[in-house]
Amino acid sequence: MEIIWLAVLAALLIGYFALEGFDIGVGMLLPVLSRARERAGEPGPPQRHRDRLVAAMAPFVLANEIWLVAAVGTLIGAFPSLEGEVISGLYSVVVALLVSWILRDAALWFRRRMDGAAWRAFWDAVLCAASWGLALSWGVALAALVRGLPGTAFDAAGLLGGAVVAAVFAFHGRAFVAWRLAGAGETRPAARRLWLSAVVAALPVAVPLVAMAPALLDHAASPAALGVLNLIVLPVTPILVGAQVWVWRTFGPSRSAGAAAVPSFF
């Protein structure tokens, strides 16, 4: 029974990296991608390019970031005695990750709530910086997990982890934008590249998962508690998957010409 919940946790974390990875990547590359669009001869000021890039990822963010909330919930419910150890063991990394996450989301929710160039440019800068913060803290956290929670997480190995995660998220974000804003006829190759970049983005979290699997299995909740989770969560899994599929079917590039129409709510 522990194996099922280990698989659920792994699926949620891998899903988070493969999905939310591109949102974080787009945020990181916001200035770079907007300049690239300008150079490619797209009409409009830089703000318009940034709006389009954010509009491209906007319909996916809420459905993507929730995978991490669910993963931590699974950790609390199915592996309770390990949850506190891991999260408090990574105290300062988790604080950095959460503050980055909060600021990234706040930037998305707030950037269009007032008119004025300065307001939106400010939140776009926050969006970019906080996305970097998220990627780097994830890298530091994963490097610490692989090494069994060392005393200081912010050392050379941690920074190397940060660089790796930042690189794969940026790669994934670029592939996503190319797919979502692809012209007619180019969506197929763009979709193939997006699948590839999703696998690359998920790799960094797969390593510590394998390293931690024995410890996780040792710290599983009691059969009674897992039985409750089996009874209530497993039957609704098709609905969870169905809702996610619905998002992708609704907001794919092929559905309409204005796939990432501006104005969007984010």
Partner 1 sequence: MTDLARLQFAVTGSLHFLFVVLTLGLAPLVAIMQTRHVISGKPVFARMTRFWGRIYLINYALGVLTGLVMEFQFGLSWSGLTHYAGDVFGAPLAIETLVAFFLESTFLGLWIFGWNRLPKGLHLACIWLVALTAYLSAFWIMVANSFLQHPVGVADRGDHLALTDFPALLSNSSLVMAFPHVIGAGLFAGSFLIIGASAYHLFRRTPEQEFFRRSLRTGVVWALVGTNIAVGFGYAQFGAIDGTQPGKFNGAVPGMALGNMILIGQLVHLIVLFLLLPLLFRDLLARARWLHPVLMIMTPLPFAAAILGWLAREVGRQPWLVYGKLTVADAMSPGLTEGMVLLSLIAFAGVLALLAVVDILLIARAVHQGPKVDDLGAPGPAEPSPAPVLAL
Residue 87 within binding range of partner 1, rule CB under 8 A: yes
Stretch 246-265 residues interacting with partner 1 (CB under 8 A): 246-247, 250-251, 255-265
- 84, with CB counted inside 10 A (0-12, 13-18, 19+), is exposed
Cβ proximity to partner 1: between 156 and 185 the closer is 185
Cβ proximity to partner 1: between 4 and 160 the closer is 4
Residue 209 within binding range of partner 1, rule CB under 8 A: no
- Contacts of 238 by beta carbon, 8 Å cutoff, 6+ apart: none
- Contacts of 15 by beta carbon, 8 Å cutoff, 6+ apart: 67
In the complex, least distance from residue 177 CB atom to partner 1, rounded to whole angstroms:
6
Collapsed DSSP state (helix, strand, coil) of residue 186 = coil
Instruction: Extract the tokens encoding 91.
Output: 């105290």
Among 182, 194, 205, 216, interactor with partner 1 by CB under 8 A:
182
Residue 83 within binding range of partner 1, rule CB under 8 A: yes
Residue 177 within binding range of partner 1, rule CB under 8 A: yes
Stretch 20-79 residues interacting with partner 1 (CB under 8 A): 33, 36-37, 39-40, 42, 52, 58-63, 65-67, 69-70, 72-78
Cα–Cα–Cα angle for 251, 257, 261, nearest 5°?
65
Q: How far is CA 138 from CA 25, 115, 161, 203, in A?
A: 13, 33, 8, 13
Residue 199 within binding range of partner 1, rule CB under 8 A: no
